[in-house]
Structure 1
Amino acid sequence: MPSEGGWPILGVSDHGCRTLEVAMTGTPHVVSDVMTQTVLALRHGAAFKDIVKALQRWQVSAAPVLDDDGRVVGVVSEADLLHKEEARTAAPAGYGQGRSGPDSPESASVTAAALMTTPAITVRPEAPLPEAARTMARHGVKRLPVVDADGLLQGVVSRADLLKVFLRGDEDIAEEIRRQILPHLFPDSAEPVRVLVRDGVVTLTGRVPDTALIPVAVGWVRGVDGVVAVECALAGPPRRPDLDPDLPDAGRVPPHRGRAHRLPEGSGGS
């Protein structure tokens, strides 16, 4: 694992950076498409002062903590560091004066293992982007370590990374809808459904053979990466008077609605 100043750093090599660029040239669908691969990771024995310096140098508010095998065992955030500082300043007046603070021997004995929040809230590289967003919202965190099946750190995904999906071009969104959604739902449509995308807002217009599938189409389109909203103006096929008895038709003789006329007995009715 590459390191700098004793800190493990993932993906520093040119190869790692190129991998990220290649992933972002396509349509982002999963966490590995948007995650940052060049990340700061802390050893579990890192001291308080060194953690503060590392976070400031890398301009991040949190970093994953690794064990000796490179597995993520927790996360140290600025909030964790501030909690430690709050506990120190809450001590009785005069206690430890001249000895406490980031440069004191006491702070040097406080390590990432003691400060970190554990277990770490993580996500897998193959997780869909909405799943990562829901995990962040559920746990109230701004970023997630990305780990493989063995718990090894692969990168970090942040809220800003997830928002990259909305940078997708309108025509790219429209093309995916035309090619991957509409042919599956409406293969026998007499006229093509028109798709217009502007600033991520999709408008669907036209007639479809089965109106029951319209809500399904809206749901599928809403799930396309980069879609902000869906405006649906789809309708069913035009109604035909010759097939619908409820529609008026001047050329059709209305059915007789009077009483049936019975022929006298013995009269020829054949």
Structure 2
Amino acid sequence: MRTTVADVMTTDVTAVNHKASFRTVADLLISKAVSGVPVLDDDNHVLGVVSEADLLAKEEFKELYYDDAYRPPLRARIRHAMGSEGTGSYKALGETAGELMTASAHVTTPDSPVVAAARLMDRYGVKRLPVVDADGRLVGIVSRRDLLKVFLRADEEIRALVLAGIPTSAMWTDPKGLDIEVTEGVVTLNGIVSRHTEAIAAVRMAESIDGVVAVHDELTWKHDDVIEVPMWGGA
């Protein structure tokens, strides 16, 4: 029931070929109002990402597209300052997207859980991830905003997902007998199930749904089939 990147990604991706000129990349970032785009080889493989921070290594970026009052985002200023020695001086000489980009882009795949993508963004401090297929070719892009939508699901949608996740198989004596309430993402499970293990499974299933903030377990059961394993100690 976990949402995957394929469920939320954008397939209409703004990207550039590695041979694209500095001016082409700069025009694209400004016209599309984005802070970075994937850089592709001639076969659509992702080589890296070129960002506003990368272009700041060239002073003409500021001169061409911003006035003297322009202050780039803090993250861009930090990256520019950290790259002012070594790679920064190299990028100042770069003329194409391939020369200006940050290589080894962090990417994700369509079948990756959105939680994993969110952790990857947080770990590397990026706002978006190119999505690639098994051959490394670009198939989409996923942003922080895309991921946030999953965790801001409406209560009724969450309730429907919880209800749909309850099997009508023998595991449940009477699924319709469960009372499911959702308030601000907090799920409360009420009702009587046949076995204690069924109650545990219901809680775990609800907790696995993206967008659920917490689960309040108020279930009761007719038979306690949870086996207590004795703890043995000795001197």
TM-score, normalised by the number of residues in structure 1: 0.63
* Pair 58,131 (structure 1): closer, same or farther in 2 beyond 3 Å: same
Q: Does 1:201 align with 2:186?
A: yes
- 1:115 paired residue among 83, 97, 100: 100
- Structure 1 residue 118: Cα displacement: 1.8
* Aligned residue identity for 1:56: I
Q: How far apart, in 2, do the equivalents of 1:213 and 1:81 lie?
A: 57
In structure 2, relative to structure 1, the CA distance for the partners of 1:235 and 1:72 (3 Å cut) is same
CA distance in 2 between counterparts of 1:68 and 1:168 reads: 39
Distance change >3 Å, CA 217–CA 62, structure 1 → 2: same
Per the alignment, residue 42 of structure 1 pairs with 16
Quickly say closer, same or farther: Cα 1:118–1:190, change in 2 above 3 A. Answer: closer
How big is the shift at 1:209? 3.4
Tell me which of 183, 192, 195 is aligned to 2:177.
192
- Mapped pair 1:222 → 2:196: no
Could you tell me how far apart the structure 2 residues matched to 1:84 and 1:219 are?
52
What is the deviation of 1:225? 3.0
- Equivalent residue number for residue 132 of structure 2: 147
SS in 2 for 1:68: coil
Identical positions, percent: 46
Residues in 1 aligned to 2:146 and 2:47: alpha-carbon distance in whole angstroms: 23
Distance 2:25 2:154 in 1: 40
Alignment map for 1:125-204 (pairs within 5 Å): 125-181=110-166, 183=168, 186-188=171-173, 192-204=177-189
CA deviation after TM superposition for structure 1 residue 61, in Å? 0.7
User: Once the 2 structures are TM-superposed, how far is the Cα of residue 166 of structure 1 from its aligned partner?
Assistant: 3.6
Match of 2:39 in 1: 65
* Cα drift, residue 32 of structure 1: 1.8
Unaligned runs of 5+ in 1: 1-26, 92-105, 240-270
| Structure 2 unpaired stretches of 5+ | 60-79, 86-91, 225-235
Counterpart AA for 2:185: G
Structure 1 position 189, deviation (Å): 5.4
TM-score by length of 2: 0.71
Deviations 1:93-138 (A, max 9, x none): xxxxxxxxxxxxx76x522112212211111122222221122222
Distance 1:204 1:83 in 2: 55
CA contact (8 A) 1:182 1:217 kept: no
Whichever residue aligns with residue 154 of structure 2, its letter is G
Shift of 1:186: 4.8
Q: Contact between 1:191 and 1:207, CA under 8 Å: does it hold in 2?
A: no
